Structure formats: C-alpha cells, structure tokens
Chain A
C-alpha cells in the first residue's frame, strides 16, 4: 500500500510490527499487578489496528471519489456511530436516549462542520473528502465525549437530587423550575473538558492533527491555524450537542404534567 502523497518517512510493515510490541508494556504491567486487563488490552489493540488499517484503505478509495452523496452518506454513518457510542458509555437508559443522542450529534456536527467548511476553509468542491471527513471525525470524537458526559450527569443528577426536584414540584414549580439547576450543571460539567483542553493546548499537549500535519512537512505556523479552527469547531459542536442532548433528556425524563419520571430510567449492570 502506498500513500497518495507523503512528505513524511513511510513506515514499513516490519517497523509497524515493531511498534505493536509496545503494547507488551501494558500487558506486562497488567500481569505484574494482576489488573486483569490483559485480554481487554489485546482485544482493544487488535481492534485499533484492524479498524485503522481498514479506515486507511477506505479513505484512500474515498479520497479518489468526487461523488457528494457517497461522501455525505459516509459522514452520516460516522455521525450515527458517534451517536450510538455516546449512549453506550453511559450507565443508564431511557426510551428515546438513542434518538436524543443521534439528533444532537448529527445536528451539532452537521451545523458546525458545514459552517466551517463553507465559510472558513472553503475547499473546492465543498465536499472534498480530504477536508470534510477528517474535520468531521475530530468534531464527532469530541462531541461524543461531551454528550456521554452530559447524559450521565443529567441522569445521575436527577436521581441524586430527586427529592429536591420533587420538593419544588410539590410547591408548585414547573418542571423547568424544578430541574433547571440539574440541567445547567450537566451542561456545564460536560463542557469543562473542552475548555480545559483549550487552556493547556500547545503547552502540555501538542494536538494530534497538528502533529500529523507537521510530520507531513506542513509549516508549523500553517498547521497551528488549522488547529485553531478545529478547536473552535470542537468547542462549538460540543456545546451544541451537549445542550441538545441534555435538554432532550430532561424532556424525556419529565412529563408535560410536570412530573419527574425516573421510572423511565433503567440501569445497566456494570460492564468491564
């Protein structure tokens, strides 16, 4: 397999195999401390390698396409996977949780990525997959974290503050008056990781996309500009996605009769 264009040194199959030996550090530590993670580590690293190699081939094929519907379909599939994964990281379920997550992920990422592509980066044509797909992927990966955090905090917050919420309802509060502090907390907490990562960006962490561009031979100053754009995209999409999923969740877990409907919430057994 040869990359389309590359300014970086190519990594041969043998050297790639050498890199996989690094996983032995994790496996060794797990065995030494009896963490019981050996099997999970092997599955995770195998999945990572297989998924990435597959994606590499798919992207090579995709970047040769100039077929807007096919590219948009792929974008949609990515967003659907992100929406489903966001829910799967949470510990509880309610009817409509997947729908809420999908609506929020697809809505926020489409809006933000669309705006960034059309107004800021302006590739020709607008659906050029080399721009659209990686940008969307980064937005989705971060929005997904925010959404699962926001959903989790909303559900746990309503459960732990159930008595307080119902006290407000019993005194004549509307469902919004009773729940808004829990809703706002969930949104705030879900946005904190994005804000924190912007704080230390470039000082503690050199973002992966920027590193990649620099390895490819891009001027650091140009790579930094892309990184700034992508960070603003990530924070806007995370904010919108979290806002959407938490508000939709609040509506799912309360009723139009201003009742708290935690009976709609079910918990999952702990999974590894």
Chain B
C-alpha cells in the first residue's frame, strides 16, 4: 500500500503490546472526508491508547501513519497534532475563564496564523444552547459537562482535519449530547473533515457513526 493523498488519514501495520498482551496487531485504518468512525471495543481493549497513538502522544511501536499522504515527520509533530486533535475523556482546563482557555491555545507557535473568532464561536455556543456569558465563567468551576463543551470548542476553533473524540459526551445530559452531535455533524460537512469517536453508549455510536471499527480483546 502506498500513501494515498486523497485519504485524510491512513494507518497501516499498527501493533501495540501492553506488557505481555497484544492490544492489536497489524491494524489498518483509513479515514475519508465525512467519515465518522465509531471505535467499538470493551473497556480495557485500548480505545484510548489507539486514539493517543494516532495523535502520536505515545511512540508508535510498529506501523506507519499518513495524513493527506504525508508522514508525521514530514508534517512535524506539533503540526500533525494541530490537524488531528485528540480530545481526552477528562478535559484539562487551564486556570482562568472559559475565554482565557479558548484564547490560550493561540499562543502556541503552531497556531500563530490562526486567530480568535468571536463570531464563529458565538454561533457554536448558540447551537449548544449557551450564550456568551459562558465565556466569562471560571473554567475551574465548570461542571463535567460544561468542561467537555469547552474542550470541544477549544479544539474546533483550531480548524483541525480530524477530531479524535474519547467519550466526548460522557458527562452531558441527552439534550446537550444531541446538540453536540448536531454541531459535530455540521462541522464535518463544512469541509474535508473526519472524526473518530468512542462512547460507552452503543446507541450513540450507531446513531452518530457511519463506519465502525471493532477492536478485539
């Protein structure tokens, strides 16, 4: 297999061993624009580890990754991770308000050419049933669900190609979950974008996903 640059993401020959146990061997994965890949596996099968591997937060034990046909080394790792953003299950919030959190990421060298976009953000907030007072809340006092919304908005504003969503709505009520799914669906349609999602809610995976990848135990 070559490196096909019509694919957003191509992974091949991935192996991962945890202690004596193989989590996966020779795993292949491809993402096309519009893909919403539901990652299905029992707890402990390595869903989080697979997402972290794709973001290269952990070294790859074996295998190759290509984003739009180019290797991580060719992109440079910070650029790779800015185009393929991993959202941890437990959001990490920085000190300050929600607005501070959203703006902080623009300090990173890799995002220098991007800018804070209040209008886009206002639209997203509205679709999530929030208004701009949300921006003034103290990030460290947000509820678990609000923290997940902030985490998602912080990534979306960076305009990635791919979102790796690790239980993105685990702390949200059904109405907010539906709003997040709609927001993500709209975002995916607005460009050459894709996402991978894990959830403990099988119904959500069937509803939101349009492809499935099952990890064996």
Residues on A close to B: CB < 8 A?
163-164, 166-174, 177, 255, 257-261
For chain B residues 60-110, which have a beta carbon within 8 Å of chain A?
Answer: 72, 77-79, 81-82, 85-88, 90-92, 94, 105, 107-110
- With known contacts A167-B92, A259-B56, A172–B86 Cβ distance under 8 A: no
Task: Look across to chain A and name the residue whose beta carbon is closest to the beta carbon of B72.
Answer: A257
- With known contacts A166-B57, A177-B109, A259-B59, A171–B154 Cβ distance under 8 A: yes
Q: Determine the chain A residues whose CB is within 8 A of the CB of B111 once the complex forms.
A: 172
Interface contact B86-A170, CB-CB below 8 Å: yes
Interface contact B88-A173, CB-CB below 8 Å: no
Shortest beta-carbon distance from B86 to chain A in Å = 5
Shortest beta-carbon distance from A177 to chain B in Å = 6
Partner of A169, one of B59, B81, B107, B158: B81
Interface contact A167-B88, CB-CB below 8 Å: yes
How would residues 137 to 152 of chain B score, 1 for a CB under 8 Å from any chain A CB and 0 otherwise? Answer: 0000000000000000
Interface contact A168-B108, CB-CB below 8 Å: yes
Task: Look across to chain A and name the residue whose beta carbon is closest to the beta carbon of B164.
Answer: A170
Q: List 12 A-B contacts (CB under 8 A).
A: A163-B92, A168-B108, A169-B81, A171-B82, A171-B85, A171-B108, A171-B158, A173-B108, A173-B110, A177-B109, A257-B72, A261-B59
- In angstroms, Cα B55 to Cα A259, docked, is 10
Interface size on B, residues (CB 8 A): 28
- In angstroms, Cα B85 to Cα A168, docked, is 11
Q: Determine the chain B residues whose CB is within 8 A of the CB of A170 once the complex forms.
A: 55, 57, 81, 85-88
Task: Look across to chain B and name the residue whose beta carbon is closest to the beta carbon of A260.
Answer: B57
Shortest beta-carbon distance from B202 to chain A in Å = 26
Shortest beta-carbon distance from A130 to chain B in Å = 53
Partner of B78, one of A163, A172, A260: A172
- B58 beta carbon closer than 8 Å to chain A: yes
* New contact pairs (13) apart from A172-B105, A177-B107, CB-CB < 8 Å: A163-B88, A163-B92, A164-B92, A167-B91, A169-B81, A170-B57, A171-B154, A172-B79, A173-B108, A173-B110, A174-B109, A258-B81, A259-B58
How would residues 120 to 163 of chain B score, 1 for a CB under 8 Å from any chain A CB and 0 otherwise? Answer: 00000000000000000000000000000000001100100000
Partner of B110, one of A167, A172, A261: A172
- In angstroms, Cα B72 to Cα A55, docked, is 57
- In angstroms, Cα B157 to Cα A172, docked, is 13
